[in-house]
């Protein structure tokens, strides 16, 4: 099995994202979650690239066809399409990294743009490189994100790293 990502959630479970779905390990046994054709409550795509938990106890999965939220209480997946104007096979749907910041905003790094998901309004904002704007993100290929102790967001892109100013909504 190829395992591109691992997460230990707030309850201590280990989650493994694989090219065959998701595996949850509780220290004794493994439970697998895969895409089941025709079942809208299963994970959308079994090739999982990114895992993140949020402050509400949900587990989020990024894959090559968007984003899924897993509710551990109901064991139901909710599907989100990042860019409804593009086909599911477009790089803008291909999630590479996930992060919930200290303000509760959910950041989604993709192969073609950076998305911010507001969980309260369930809306997406997209940031893309703009060659006419020196304060736009340096590349549309965003590979990774980290938040430092002061709350500053840093992004690894196809053209270097970027720091994000949340107040001005500018990249440096």
CA-wise closest residue to 110 among 99, 118, 101, 123 = 99
Q: What is the mean pLDDT of the chain?
A: 94
What are 79-100's pLDDT values in tens digits? 999 988 887 888 888 999 999 9
Across 109-126, average pLDDT: 94
pLDDT over 90 (residue 115): yes
What are 8-39's pLDDT values in tens digits? 999 999 999 999 999 999 999 999 999 999 99
What are 36-52's pLDDT values in tens digits? 999 999 999 989 999 99
149 phi, psi to nearest 5 deg: -60, -30
pLDDT at res. 91:
87
């Amino acid at each position: 099995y190829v395992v591109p990502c691992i997460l230990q959630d707030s309850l201590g479970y280990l989650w493994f994202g694989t090219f065959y779905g998701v595996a949850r390990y509780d220290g004794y046994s493994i439970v697998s979650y895969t895409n089941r054709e025709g079942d809208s409550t299963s994970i959308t795509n079994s090739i999982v690239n990114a895992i993140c938990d949020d402050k509400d106890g949900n587990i989020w999965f990024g894959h090559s066809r968007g984003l899924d939220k897993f509710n551990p209480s109901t064991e139901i997946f909710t599907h989100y399409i990042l860019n409804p104007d593009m086909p599911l096979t477009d790089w803008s749907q291909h999630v590479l990294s996930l992060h919930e910041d200290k303000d509760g905003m959910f950041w989604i790094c993709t192969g073609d743009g950076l998305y911010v998901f507001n969980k309260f309004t369930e809306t997406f904002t997209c940031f893309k490189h703009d060659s006419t704007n020196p304060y736009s993100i340096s590349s549309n290929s965003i590979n990774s994100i980290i938040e430092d102790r002061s709350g500053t967001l840093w992004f690894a892109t196809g053209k270097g790293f970027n720091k994000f100013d949340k107040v001005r909504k500018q990249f440096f």
